Amino acid sequence: MMLQVRDLSIGYNGIAILDDINFCVEGGSYLCIVGENGTGKSTLLKTISRLLKPIYGDISFSVSRKEIGYLSQQTAVQSDFPATVNEIVATGALSKGSWYRPFYRKLEKELIAWAIDKTKITDIKGKCFRELSGGQQRRVLLARALVAAKNFIVLDEPTAGLDPEATKDFYELLWKINRDERVTIIMVTHDIESTMKYATHVLHLQPDDYFFGTNCEYVQFQKGKIT
Amino acid sequence: MNTLELLRFPFVQYALIVSVLMAVCASLIGVPLVLKRYSFMGFGLSNVAFMGMALAIIVDAFNPMAIVMPFTIAATIILIGFGNRFKKISRDASLAMITVGSLAVGHFAINTFSMRGNITADVSETLFGGMRLLTLDMTDVWQSVGITVFVLLFFVFFYHRIFAVTFDVDFMQATGQRPLVYELALSAITGIVIAVSMNLLGSLLTAALIIFPALSAMRLFRAYKSVIIFATIAAACCSLLGILISIIIELPVTTTIILVNIALFFILLVVDTLYKMLA
């Protein structure tokens, strides 16, 4: 068991927007969190990534908290930041070193090279981040998340703002990494179609309620809603 | 009298050393500030330091820095370190209030309570520097050497973390690091540099040294490391050149240094634009 969520209440400033969430994630799964706007998808992901405190309940990990890679929605600062791909991917390794060490070790450099290779950004690793396309930028941030955590990454709407072609490429890449490297993935997305295509498990948030189950169960659930 | 003869005077040597060293410090802290969209913060905080200096002049403090320093560090930590965590008043508005407010309080306090004769000179000196820079002593030189060594060591040891905390705070938080610690440390050092630099160079030059070298470097370079290295070198060279020009042809020293910085920025802007048009 990679992640277990028990009796969780989430929200901002002590006001809960969703209560009694219970689910667990096995190693190697691919969980998509879907639902309408405002149902708390991002809030849940931020709570899992510990950017927000849970209002009530408990989130337990089988891995160290440091072994979680995080890929956020793009911030304004990042869109014109002067930094190379290599410099950004390398910051993923910071959680592994001691606080005072000014250089990366050989092991960390190998990890950085591995992540750059897996996300297929080798040919652009010397380029400036702000000059890349949206799809390339998302792969760079994915590589950084992989350096931070080889086993477990969480993503908050990673394809927001990408064109359909780049979106498809990104999902393909993510699916390959999940399958070949056994990386556990938790992703917030709007895209029901690709959720059904790639995810092993689905968490569908609704106001005051949620569905959690395997991909097959979710297909049944969706059919039930239509009829 | 030619330049080489001028360089023999201790006051010229002190001015050169101190202004180059403070330029290095200010431009180093300037790169993360500009990238975090805090460019105006340098000027706001210089004004807070001005207010601290005004208070020090009123009480006729033996060591004005003992008053200026805590003031500036506290303001920096509140504005930068916690700035994004409290959203009662927007960052833009709070910065504007602090800039205007501290100037007014400082000027009011000096005019109302100061026992000293030449108030206008005191105010002008603290804001724009000038004579102060040409009347430095060895204590000032050692002070700026000390702070430069400190700032350089901080940037060498925490280089990657300063980069990470500038680029993406949320990622650091989510991967189990402590971005707040680094943000606060960087804010405190920013406050120290601004306080010392305001005392030696005046608040206007301090603010200029924070923004112009960083912005010039960003016209030319696309990697963070190159930006930070070029900004410090550019700042040092501009200060050196500015002081020499101002002494040789008798111009106001601090504003000459700023004009040299502005000139460099526009030259690089043109170079960058031409390069992009041709490429």
CA-to-CA distance for B152 and B89, rounded, in angstroms? 34
pLDDT tens, residue by residue, B26-74 = 999 999 999 988 888 888 898 899 888 888 888 877 788 888 889 888 8
Average pLDDT of chain B, as a whole number? 88
Q: Does residue B229 have a pLDDT over 70?
A: yes
Q: Using one digit for the tens of pLDDT, what is the confidence trace for A19-54? A: 888 898 988 899 999 988 888 888 898 888 888 888
Decide if A84 and B224 are in contact by the 8 Å CB cutoff: yes
Residue B31's closest chain A neighbor by CA? Answer: A82
A9 SS3 class? strand
Q: What percent of chain B has pLDDT over 90?
A: 43
Q: Find the closest chain B residue to A82 by CA distance.
A: B222
Question: pLDDT: is A134 or B116 the higher one?
Answer: A134
Q: Which residues of A touch B173 (CB under 8 A)?
A: 49-51
Phi, psi of B42 (to 5 degrees): -55, -45
Give the number of A-B residue pairs with CB atoms closer than 8 Å: 96
Q: How confident is the model at residue B83 (pLDDT cuts 50, 70, 90)?
A: low
Mutation target for B interface from A3, A48, A95: give the one with most B CBs within 10 A.
A95
Judging contacts by C-beta atoms under 8 Å, the chain A residues touching residue B225 are 87
Q: Which residues contact A46 (CB under 8 A, 6 or more apart)?
A: A52, A156
CA distance to partner chain A, nearest, from residue B156 (Å): 7
CA distance A76 to chain B (A): 10
* pLDDT band per the 50, 70, 90 thresholds, residue B81: low
* pLDDT for the residue B216: 96
What is the C-alpha to C-alpha distance for residues A159 and A156, in angstroms, rounded to an integer? 9
pLDDT digits (tens, 9 = 90+) for B148-200: 999 999 999 999 999 999 998 888 888 888 888 898 999 899 999 999 998 89
Instruction: Please list every residue in chain B whose beta carbon sits closer than 8 Å to the beta carbon of residue A82.
Output: 35, 218, 221-224, 227
Phi-psi region of B74 (alpha: psi -120 to 50; beta: other; left: phi over 0): alpha
Say whether pTM exceeds 0.90: no
Q: What is the pLDDT of residue A76?
A: 67
Q: Which residues contact B73 (CB under 8 A, 6 or more apart)?
A: B187, B188, B191, B192, B195
Residue B149, Ramachandran bin (φ over 0: left; ψ between -120 and 50: alpha; else beta): alpha
- pLDDT score of A78 more than 80: no
Give the confidence band of B20 by pLDDT, cuts at 50, 70, 90.
very high
Structure tokens at B16: 């050169």
ipTM over 0.90: no
Q: What is the rounded CA–CA span in Å between residue A84 and residue A103?
A: 17
Residue A96 has pLDDT above 90, yes or no: no
B114 vs chain A: nearest CA distance in angstroms? 44
**Which tens digits make up the pLDDT trace of A201-210?**
999 988 878 8
Rounded to the nearest angstrom, the minimum Cα separation between B222 and chain A is 5
Confidence bin at A158 (pLDDT 50/70/90):
confident
d(CA B149, CA B50) in angstroms, rounded, equals 25
- Give yes or no for a contact between B19 and B243, defined as CB atoms under 8 angstroms apart: yes
Average model confidence (pLDDT) across chain A: 86
- The whole-number pLDDT of residue A104 equals 81
Q: Which two tokens mark A44?
A: 């849940």
Q: How far is CA A49 from the centre of its chain?
A: 9
The pLDDT value given to residue B56: 85
How confident is the model over B1-17, as pLDDT tens digits? 566 677 888 888 999 99
pLDDT in tens, B265-275: 999 999 999 99
* Distance, CA of A24 to CA of A1 (rounded, Å): 7
